[in-house]
Structure 1
Amino acid sequence: MRRLLVAAGAVAAITVAGCGTTATPSLQNAQLSAAEVIQQTAKKADDVNTYAADLVLNVTDAKGGQGGVVQGTMLYQKTPQIASDINLSRVAFNGQNVPGGVRVIVQGDVAYVKLDMLKTLVGATKPWIRLDLKQLGSQAGVNVDQYLAQAQQFDLKTSVALLTASKDVKSVGSEQVGGVDTTHYSGSFPVDEAVKQLPEDQRGRLQGEIANAKDVKFDAWIDAQGLPRKVELNGGKPDAGTFKATAMFKSFNEPVSIKAPAADQVGELPQTLHQPSGTGS
């Protein structure tokens, strides 16, 4: 169960890893190299206030010879406050399905989690559980703090930093993605170097999720505005498990609706799980 929860949430961090990092000087009226395009995409991503994306993650588990799949959607907004709505309609690992999938709505420092199995695991009586992200790290008995933090922290701009670590990115042609003309770029990046592109407080969390991958191959489809329309990541080791993550970005800077669940549908985390480690009977 721990793995199901973490993997379901971590898909948001992995699949959007295609856009955002430090800005570079503008190269107006110049033919940009592939590496410069990725840098310019990062700069463009900084101006994106909202986006909507479809997410897919496929993994293999070398230990059991089985794998899993996560599919869903994501809405994100930067202002007036950071908010996201991650709806993972399909979550299955090693032949086990998560009934009803997983949905996480984050608004500022508050997260709302909808997971049917919480009724069995923690005795939840409402469809949704409200979590204070400021306090979650100190709560014992629940292991969802890691993926909730990722849902809040890994936005479009932050996650593109990974691609800028590539030394071999190149253009491989022109294609349409969702009816939009794009240029297809392909390359790879060493995980150790890519993680260094992130703020220090985020490095350990991401590094833990892709620890099995020494190098990650990627494909990015960038439109005429310099924004990514599709990003694919492939990584891992055959003897330790592999993953393929895909994000299809459907819109940028268009209105999105991210609302908290109705109050009568929301419960609090049971008090038995709020006890600090080492306390209780």
Structure 2
Amino acid sequence: MAASEVLAQAAQKTSQVSTYTVDAVVNAAHPQEGDGRVQGRMLYQSKPDLAVDLTLDTVGMGGRSLPGGARAVLQGDNVYVKVQALNDLVGATKPWIKVSLSEVGDSAQVNQYLSQIQQFDLANVTKLVTASQDVQSVGNESVNGEDTTHYSGSFPVDAAVQQLPADKQEQARTNLAQVKDDVKFDVWVAADGLPRKLAMSGGKEGATLDATLFFKGYNEPVNIAAPPADQVGDLPRNGTTN
């Protein structure tokens, strides 16, 4: 198949994947804001119910870091967030904060961590690369012990974002805000037509962004559980805690 057909097929296949694990590193550099880095992993499950477990070991920007990292568990209609700095900010008394998805828009802090989920999302990032008009195969390589075919190309940000569902486009534009025109990418696809590694990079006016994601555990069982009830409080309102 032509390289563009391989990407289209990969996008179709990833939409049918029910579980996977991704390890990711996202690096950013900005002339005014300094360097930033997000590193972590995510477990994903779409069936029988959508559930996501995101662990961010490193979250930093401009010399400021998030002590202890961050954790977010999305399950059903709720998201559970564990970030000590957020607890200190809002005055929470328990390790985890529970927020209904219908209320997430009211909490910029919680929404910030949910946006990381989209950056790690297999279906979204695979759809982005299908906008490429210049992708080509550059050889066969091993990724974590698996044989893959390496494809390289670029895609225009605006055209790529339009490949996403309407409700995902605004956040994707925000995630790619440090890229002016085209994003360069490399993707490694295994014999089953699913990606094992994806790297993207781009820049704008001296700012740069690059991300590397490793995917594994397709359709293998994952264990995503809500934190114990006695460790969970609701997002405090008007200075009160639960």
Q: Same fold (TM over 0.5)?
A: yes
Find 1:158's aligned residue among 124, 129, 132.
124
Which residue, 211, 233, 236 being the options, matches 1:270? 236
Distance in 1 (alpha carbons) for counterparts of 2:68 and 2:112: 21
TM-score, with structure 2 as normaliser: 0.93
What residue in structure 2 maps to residue 9 of structure 1?
none
When normalised by structure 1's length, the TM-score is 0.80
Mapped partners of 1:166, 1:42: distance in 2: 13
After superposition, the C-alpha distances for 1:132-171 in whole angstroms (9 at most, x for unaligned) are: 011222x26x443254266379742233111110000000
Aligned partner of 1:100 in structure 2 is: 68
Deviations 1:74-111 (A, max 9, x none): 10000011111110011121111201101110012210
Question: In the alignment, residue 187 of structure 2 is paired with which amino acid?
Answer: A
Does residue 91 (structure 1) correspond to residue 59 (structure 2)? The answer is yes
Distance 2:92 2:121 in 1: 30
Which among 205, 208, 215 is matched to residue 182 of structure 2?
215
Q: 1:61 aligns with which of 18, 24, 30?
A: 30
In the alignment, does 2:136 pair up with 1:188? no
* Other-structure match for 1:127: 95
Aligned length: 239
> What is the identity percentage for the equivalent residue pairs of Structure 1 and Structure 2?
51
Alignment of 1:46 onto 2:12: no
Q: CA deviation at 1:45?
A: 1.1
Q: Which has the higher strand share?
A: 2
Q: 1:83 to 1:153 in 2, by over 3 A?
A: farther
The residue number in structure 2 matching 1:170 is 136
Distance 1:48 1:119 in 2: 35
Aligned-residue offset at 1:182:
0.2
Contact map agreement 2:154 2:182 (CA 8 A) in 1: yes
**Counterparts of 1:160 and 1:90 in 2: how far apart (Å)?**
24
Query: 1:273: how far off?
Result: 7.0
Contact kept? 1:110, 1:133, Cα under 8 Å: yes
Runs of 4+, deviation exceeding 3 Å: 152-155
Q: What's 1:3 paired with?
A: none
Give, in angstroms, the shift of residue 267 of structure 1.
Answer: 0.7
Contact 2:4 2:130 in 1 (8 A): yes
1:244 and 2:210 matched: yes
Query: C-alpha offsets along residues 154-194 of structure 1, whole Å, 9 cap, x if unaligned?
Result: 74223311111000000001000000000000000000100
Amino acid at match of 2:216: K
Maintained 8 Å contact 2:135/2:151: yes
Conserved 8 A contact 1:45-1:227: yes
